[in-house]
Chain A
Amino acid sequence: MSETQIIPVEIPRQTANDDTMFLLEWLVGDASQVRAGDAICKLESSKAAFEFSAPCDGFLHIISAAGKDLPVGETIAWITSSADRPGQWPSKPTHKQQHAAAAIEGDLKITAKARSLMEKHNIADDAFANLSLVREKDVLEYLQKNPTTAVDGDKLQPHSHLQLQTAKVLTKSFGTIPHSYLSKHVSAASLESAVEKICLKDDILISLSDLLVSTIAGILRDFPKINSTWLDAGLMLHREIALGVALNQNDGTLVVPVIHNADSLSLTEIAGKIRGFQKRSIRNRLTVEDLTGGHFSVTTMIGTGVSQVFPIIYPEQAAILAIGDRWGCDDNEYYTLTLAFDHRILNGAEAGCFLKAVCDRMLQEKK
């Protein structure tokens, strides 16, 4: 290496699919002396992290800090023959400058992955006339903005009004409510025994979910913050106990009909309300009144094989309680109840007290 030589260290192309690499860390310090083949930094592609070696002997001058996603070809350091850092680096065009120049010349470069995606979706090069280099993310962005672009055999399934409403509600909720979660495992045998005992005593057919909803209705008044809505002006503590019960409809949409004044209803009446919702859901006859006004929600995955659920709190509610399917083996089977709560309204201890109270009360039915 001559005294005047200054060699760039560039982000390598590791795979045809990676247009960028993440610079995890530098393994040597700035201005360190390195030998060709020495590991100088750690890079991460979409496949794996790997050590990247110095291309030649010399002194390494770092110009890109670690912790960044950098395009393939980007210069991240220079290696010079002398220890002194030059006042100015060679005028090798930067990655961005290369793009700009290519754009002016009309020389459109397309990465292999982007090209494959474009071909798959029948997207012409013209779609990216304003770019010099088309990467996978550019194509994905284009597809997001042009959702009707389809390949042979693809079919756009329009959202139902209900699906759009559900999406709007869930997006709003997850974007505005700081969720926190607590779970408790409860003996499956004890809970099922409680349900069975009630069924035999009252000669009715109810489910564990019915018992859960009824139990919550009975104790929610003791936990006023859980039956509240966060407002900028303060906490709106609701007078009414109005419980939403999440139901999956046959078309895959989720609806949450509400049992109003649930604390004034017996377990049989609550079970009747829920069967009524299920019946109207089957018939597609749930009304707007059925679906509005809830202050707390319950969701169940019993019968699905999913043991634990982390639900999303509905807007203007403080919490939602989920029960998963029975899990475990032999005599050690459980149901897991998970409470998602708005951490602005409740701290973990308060939420935990509520969750424990629900479980304890359900098991009391057994006695």
Chain B
Amino acid sequence: MTRDEIKDKVVRAITDVLSLDSQEEEILRDENYSGGLTKWTSATHAEIIVAVEDAFDIEIDEMRIPGLNNVARIIEYIQQTV
């Protein structure tokens, strides 16, 4: 799976779980700028992680979750794992 494919899948999973509109999805696609997305918070973080796990059929190490704070970090994690 290419990096772009992973990114598309990650963005789709997060867009679905957070019910993002197209503008918010654009913000999400800016890989390092997820912090600008008001719906991506510590309160929704676990839901995001569950959605990504489901999308890639993986189990993310819980200790790594706080560091998975943007799309780029999640892509890196998946590339190392899958």
Contacts and interface: CB of A to CB of B under 8 A. Distances in A.
B43 interface: yes
B32 to A, nearest CB: 10
Interface in B25-79: 40-43, 45-47, 49-50, 53, 61-69
Contacts of A276: 62-63, 65
Nearest to A275: B65
Interface string A238-278: 00000000000000000000000000000011011101101
A283 B50 CA distance: 8
Interface residues of A, number: 22
Contact of B69 (A203, A281, A283): A203
A interface secondary structure, majority: helix
Given A205-B69, A206-B66, A275 B47 contact: no
B66 A303 contact: no
Contacts of B42: 205-207, 209-210, 271
Contacts of A209: 42
B71 to A, nearest CB: 13
A275 B45 contact: yes
A273 B46 CA distance: 11
Contact of B50 (A269, A271, A279, A303): A279
Interface centre among B61, B66, B68, B69 (most CB of A within 10 A): B66
Nearest to A247: B46
Interface residues of B, number: 19
A133 to B, nearest CB: 55
A309 B69 CA distance: 30
A250 to B, nearest CB: 10
Nearest to B42: A207
A282 interface: yes
Given A279-B50, A283-B50, A272 B66 contact: yes
Contact of B66 (A205, A281, A283, A302): A205
Interface string A187-204: 000000000000100011
Nearest to B65: A275
Contact of B65 (A271, A281, A302, A303): A271
B62 A279 contact: yes
Contacts of A303: 43
B8 to A, nearest CB: 22
B81 to A, nearest CB: 16
B69 A272 contact: no
B73 to A, nearest CB: 9
B45 A205 contact: yes
B76 to A, nearest CB: 13
A271 B66 CA distance: 6
B49 A203 contact: no
A275 B43 contact: no
Interface centre among A205, A210, A272, A279 (most CB of B within 10 A): A205
Contacts of B68: 205
Contacts of B63: 268-269, 272-273, 276
Contacts of B47: 282
Contacts of A203: 67, 69
Interface string A273-314: 101101101110000000000000000001100000000000
Given A275-B49, A279-B49, A279-B50, A207 B43 contact: yes
Nearest to A265: B63
Nearest to A199: B69
A258 B68 CA distance: 23
19 contacts: A199-B69, A205-B41, A206-B42, A206-B66, A271-B65, A271-B66, A272-B61, A272-B64, A272-B65, A272-B66, A275-B46, A276-B63, A276-B65, A278-B46, A279-B49, A279-B50, A279-B53, A279-B65, A282-B46
What 4 pairs between A and B have smallest CB-CB spacing?
A276-B62, A207-B42, A278-B46, A205-B69
Interface of B: 40-43, 45-47, 49-50, 53, 61-69
Given A207-B41, A268-B67, A273-B63, 4 more contacts: A205-B69, A276-B62, A278-B45, A278-B46
Interface of A: 199, 203-207, 209-210, 268-269, 271-273, 275-276, 278-279, 281-283, 302-303
